Amino acid sequence: MALQLKDAFTARALGIAWNNYKQSLGLPPYLGRSFFGTDKKEGLDLRFIKGSKGLPVALKASNFDAQAPLRDGIGFSDIQNQMPFYRESYMVTEKEEQDYASYQEGNPDMANQVLREIMKSPLDLINGARVIPERMIWQLLAPANGIPRVSVKIDGKDVYYVDYTPDNGVAYKSQHYFENVSTADKWSSPSSATPIQDILDVQEQHQDYTGEILSTFVMNSKTWKMFCNAEDTKKQILGVTAYKEGMRLTANDVKAYMLDMYNITILVYNQMFKEADNTSSTFIPDGVVSGIAGNISQLGTVWFGHTPEERSAGQLDGDFSLVEAGIAVYTYLTNHPVNTHCVVSEIVLPSYENMDSTFVMKVA
């Protein structure tokens, strides 16, 4: 005999089911999260110190027995923000509960099948919660306008921005942003674009300012296709003679060339998600490239807070579990109408201490 729904549809069972569901879907890990650590904190306020990077300044020569001159500090920014809260729920209808109960005694296999179908919606909520920090990360790493900030939407509308710079991104944009303004220079113009040189120029600019070398460049597949389709790219990698003879250039050839010639790793990240209005999008916008310095192990930390459900779990009548480090799952039963509910919530925001080790290119 299958379990009663109130015993089978619990937060703990959903947590176990989520791990199996994730494996069955073959969900790959999010790339953005690999550049950030994960941690948890109390309260909603997120505060981090961002230092100002630059080349080392040589020590001044001095006379003996003379007062050492004071050097101005490098400077830093104290960034303070409030972590946004996300929450959605799912309700098992009385009809679904009736369907489950009808198979409970006589056909437990069918009852389990109905239960799996009922569980899919809460699991989709968990999957949607995973999207939030990844989307935030790429709003910081790949802003098309060069200003790293997080957009928070309620009911599908932009409500406010979480700013990561004290000057609306002016300083960051002046030193860590490149845009192809001329139509002929854009990567969408294959006959005249020079993607390889653009990346090398950006790498040189960043090194001149910070002393760091941008060794990883990330873009989506549409931007990568423009990179590979540029005639200049084909000529450089194939050689003029082979290019004229129409030899085919593969994406792997281009990646190998960039790594061998310039020690640059190209990552093509095309994972997609759906917005609340059901439109599909890649995390990295078309025509945007993110450069990341090779000497940095973490760009920041994805911080999770304690949601109301997590904070009050021991005082509530329902069942609670935590998945994916900071996603809260809570289930409870209402008496009238008789419904089983599942709430998925999270409080999350990344810090971005090492933003000066990144670069944003708007190439098309």
Going from N- to C-terminal start, the domains of the chain cover 35-50+76-93+131-362
Name the β-bridge partners of 151: 161
Asked if residue 286 lies in contact with residue 227, where contact means CB atoms within 8 angstroms, the answer is no
Q: Would you give the DSSP letter of residue 353?
A: T
Entry pTM: 0.88
C-alpha 349/C-alpha 82 separation (Å) is 8
Which pLDDT tens digit goes with each residue over 161-199?
999 998 889 999 999 999 999 999 999 999 999 999 999
Which pLDDT tens digit goes with each residue over 69-97?
654 544 445 566 788 899 999 999 888 88
Name the residue among 275, 299, 324, 305 with its Cα closest to residue 82: 305
Which pLDDT tens digit goes with each residue over 36-56?
999 998 877 776 656 555 545
> What pLDDT is attached to residue 76?
46
Asked if residue 329 lies in contact with residue 323, where contact means CB atoms within 8 angstroms, the answer is yes
**Percent of the chain that is helix, strand, coil (3-state, to 5):** 35, 25, 35
What CATH code is assigned to 35-50+76-93+131-362? 3.90.1690
* Cα angle for residues 8, 276, 338 (degrees, 5° grid): 30
Amino acid (1-letter code) at residue 148: P
C-alpha 102/C-alpha 108 separation (Å) is 10
Tell the residue number behind the tokens 């845009």, with chain if given. Answer: 179
